Structure 1
Amino acid sequence: MIRVRFAVAPVGNLSISSARIALANDLLGRRGNGQMLLRLDDLDAERSRPAQVDQIIRDLRWLGIDWHCSFRQSERMAVYQPAIDRLIGDKLLYPCFESEQELMAKREFRRKRNQPPIYDRAMLSLTAKQRQDAEAGGKRPHWRLKLSGRTLQWNDLILGPRQAALSAVSDPVLVRPDGHPTPILASVVDDLDFATTDIIRGDDSTGNTAIQIELFEVLGGTRKPRFGHVPALSDEPKAGRRRTGNAPLRGLRHDGIEPVVLAAWLCGKGAPYGDPLTLDELARRLQPADFAASRFDAAALLRINRCVLGKLDFTAVADRLPPGATEDFWLAIRGSLDLLDEARVWWNVVSGIIVPPGIEGARDLLLTAGTLLPPEPWESAVWDTWIAALRRHTGRPENALLPPLRLALTGDDTGPDLAYLLPLIGRSRALSRLAIAAA
């Protein structure tokens, strides 16, 4: 059975790129009738924020993502210790006593000589006496994994064939001086313990993949998962930037992007004028390579969202509209919104107070429009009645009357059909705005 996991550190808001990784895992699990686990990487107690966990969960649930179970790494220290003991017993971990300042000086020394900033393994020659003296002086070691130096190859589920030479990277620190594991080791132990079959994560973790493959072989033998790396999102093609991808998901959520739209778009299945697919439908059509693209086209996302909003019934959005908003209001505006949050602007147009701008050269027309505005109560065809009277009185075609009337009544030169807005605005507001715009 396929088993995937989404790992997230509760140190801030869930980003759009992280949500995309969660989505990739969720869909891969659904496609294989498998399970997804939610892992909270909270080993860094100083940076982890318990309050962020609830926010991350809300964002994931909003996107439609679900998981079989969840766990915190901070609660699994006892599980990591046997792996640490085994690696030390097999002499695959060796103690190091250099301070961070000493390590920085070594890296700078190699940089000045145009050498790669790889750890020099000086501590491998540490004698028992030197270690005893260091510990007697109050130093506590961190522990590095002695890499084999071989070249490892794997077929990335998203990026295709990959390889990495372990001789080109530093022996990684797997245990901190306080005895706690680093994320590289804890992640491997977790994946072995929970029988993870496929690891889908961000491409910023690609550098650790070869190291972790070697760790899987040491600790799990043949139990090695498949890897896939999702590129970070950028709003510029081939720019490698993370401006868009690093933005919080909750921003799109609060602005009114529909979750089904965002989910389809994040995995490359957004159809500009078609109905977006459900997560189950996306899973059936999903190929991991769909996540290889890194371009986030915000304009296209808005176009799709507008199309979807224009088809939603009032019941689907009623609890997210401004208090007092009616079904007639929603039907009037739904085809003109890029984001649901824009409904608040139009609710103010039809029920609040706006000050339209003065419209140069339109004074006589606007005053005439006010005198010809039919008395209430209004029928639904009041706009047609009014515009027909204006056309007869002024001799102007409707397309010449519409721009100044729209600007006077709504304060904007674009927007929903005035035939639907006018009955919602009402005669009193309409007269007042026409007079203000004509002044």
Structure 2
Amino acid sequence: MTTTRFAPSPTGYIHVGNLRTALMNYLIARKSGGTFILRIDDTDPERSKEEYVDAIKQDLEWLGLHWDKVERQSDRLDRYAEAADNLREMGRFYEAFETPTELDLKRKKQLNMGKPPVYDRAALNLSEAEKEALRAERGSGVWRFKLDHERIDWTDGVLGDISIDAASVSDPVLIRGDGQVLYTLASVVDDTEMGVTDVVRGSDHVTNTATQIQIIEALGGTCPRFAHHSLLTGPQGESLSKRLGTLALRDLREQGVQPMALLSLMARLGSSDPVELRSDMAELIDGFDITRFGAAPTKFDEQDLFPLTAKHLQSLPLADVSDAVSGAGVPAELAEPFWAMARENITTLADLKGWWSLCRDGAEPLIADEDQEFIAEAMALLPEGPFDGESWGTWTKAVKEATGRKGKGLFMPLRKALTGMERGPEMAALLPLLQVIRARG
């Protein structure tokens, strides 16, 4: 059975980049009838916050990405310690003591010599006495995994066949000097013990994957299928890294973006398939294929979410938006005709308040000097209410016969006089809702 996971760190709010990873793993699990795990990567006690754990769950629930179980890495520290002991026993784990400054100097020296800037394994040559002296001077060192210097190969679900020379990669640090277990080790132990079969993540993890494959094999695990999706850029190809904080899911939600609009975009963005608004999760699941995605950086423009949101809202019945309609102040008896009028003329649900304000309070008329007499004559012909869907046609027919005006010269001045706008909903639907006009009845 397919098992996937989404493993966010609770050090901030999740953003569109995180969502891409979460959604792909979710869709793969659901399409195969498998299991989707929410795994909280909270091994950093200083930066991890419970409020962010709650926020991650809230954001996923808002989107309808329901997990089958939750795991927390902070509950599994004993499993990581056992794995570390196993690696030590097999000679694949060693302690190193270089300071960041010393490592930086080594890298610069290697680059100047035209060599790849990888860790030189100097720590392997330290005697026990030298290690004890360094511990006394600097405290505990970091623990590095000793890579076998051979090629690491796998077939990636997005990138195709990958081959990385392990000699071109530094032995990865798996445990910090303060004892904190890092992602590379924790993820391997979790994926192995939780039976994760498929891992989808960003292409910035390709090198991590190479080292993790060796760690998995060293610990006797089975490697999952890996797929590395492209990274998002801004609409002009610019880096999104500095803006991701402003593209948090809760910020998009606050701006009125609808879940299905966001999911429809992210489920296709970067693939060879066109972005199409889907009506429900089942359609998203059915239409998802990880092999359709490309490796090139993928342009993301949050403005693309708003036409999709508008289109989604147009498809909804009143029952799905009743809270927003009543929240805008619309009386229950007018909710149905109001939504029928407004749905084609909003981008987000927040726009409902403006339309109800127009209906309730009216608007400052826009009347050109040359239309003053025409509007006065037309208003005198306005029949008494109550108004219905036929009232606009009846009225404009009478005005046409009385004034000789027709077409745009007839309808536009009347619209501007009643709404203060040149564009908007069908006047036949809007007229019965204009409270100031209704009061004439």
TM tier, smaller: 0.7 to 0.9
Q: Which residue of 2 aligns with 1:232?
A: 231
What are the within-5 Å matches in structure 2 for residues 35-434 of structure 1?
Answer: 35-221=35-221, 223-236=222-235, 241=240, 247-268=247-268, 276-292=278-294, 294-296=298-300, 301-321=305-325, 322-325=327-330, 326-352=335-361, 354-355=363-364, 359=368, 361-428=370-437
Where do 5+ consecutive residues of structure 2 fail to align? none
CA-CA distance at 1:219 after TM superposition: 1.0
Q: 2:225 is aligned with what amino acid?
A: R
Superposed CA deviations along residues 134-191 of structure 1, whole A, max 9, x for unmatched, are 1222521111111112221211112322222221121111011122211111110111
Shift in Å, 1:15: 1.0
Q: Percent identity?
A: 36
Superposition TM-score, scaled by structure 2 size = 0.87
**Cα 1:108–1:306, aligned 2, differ >3 Å: closer, same or farther?**
same
Structure 1: runs of 5+ lacking an equivalent = 432-439
- Counterpart Cα distance in 1 of 2:399 and 2:274: 39
Structure 2 vs 1, CA of residues 390 and 159 (structure 1 numbering), >3 Å: closer, same or farther?
farther
Change (3 A) 1:128 1:236: same
**Aligned pair count?**
430
1:297 positional shift: 5.8
Query: What do residues 393-420 of structure 1 show as CA deviations (whole Å, max 9, x unaligned)?
Result: 4322232233344344334432221221
1:411-430: CA deviation from partner (whole Å, max 9, x where unpaired): 44322212211221223599
Letter of the structure 2 residue corresponding to residue 324 of structure 1: G
Distance in 1, matches of 2:421 and 2:161, equals 54
| Residue identity opposite 1:20 in structure 2 | R
| One-letter code aligned to 1:267 | A
Q: Give the TM-score normalised by the residue count of structure 1.
A: 0.88
Change (3 A) 1:352 1:140: farther
CA distance in 1, matches of 2:278, 2:350: 20
Q: Which residue identity is paired with 2:278?
A: P
The change in CA–CA distance for 1:98 and 1:356 in structure 2 (over 3 A counts) is farther
The answer (yes or no) to whether the contact 2:432–2:438 under 8 Å persists in 1 is: no
**What's the RMSD between the two structures over aligned residues?**
2.9
Query: How many Å apart are 1:343 and its aligned residue?
Result: 2.0
Q: Which amino acid letter does the alignment assign opposite residue 371 of structure 1?
A: A
- Say if 1:233 and 1:245, in contact at 8 Å, map to a contact too: no
Structure 1 residues 404, 224: closer, same or farther in 2, change over 3 A? same
The change in CA–CA distance for 1:430 and 1:75 in structure 2 (over 3 A counts) is same
Instruction: Supply the distance in 1 between the matched residues of 2:36 and 2:346 (Cα, whole angstroms).
Output: 35
- Aligned partner letter, 2:29: G
Q: Which moved more, 1:82-91 or 1:44-53?
A: 44-53
1:337 positional shift: 2.5
Distance 1:285 1:174 in 2: 38
Question: 2-side partners of 1:368 and 1:283: how far apart?
Answer: 59
Q: Which shows bigger deviation, 351-360 or 252-261? A: 351-360
Q: Is the 8 A contact 1:96 1:141 kept in 2?
A: yes
Secondary structure in 2 matching 1:220: coil
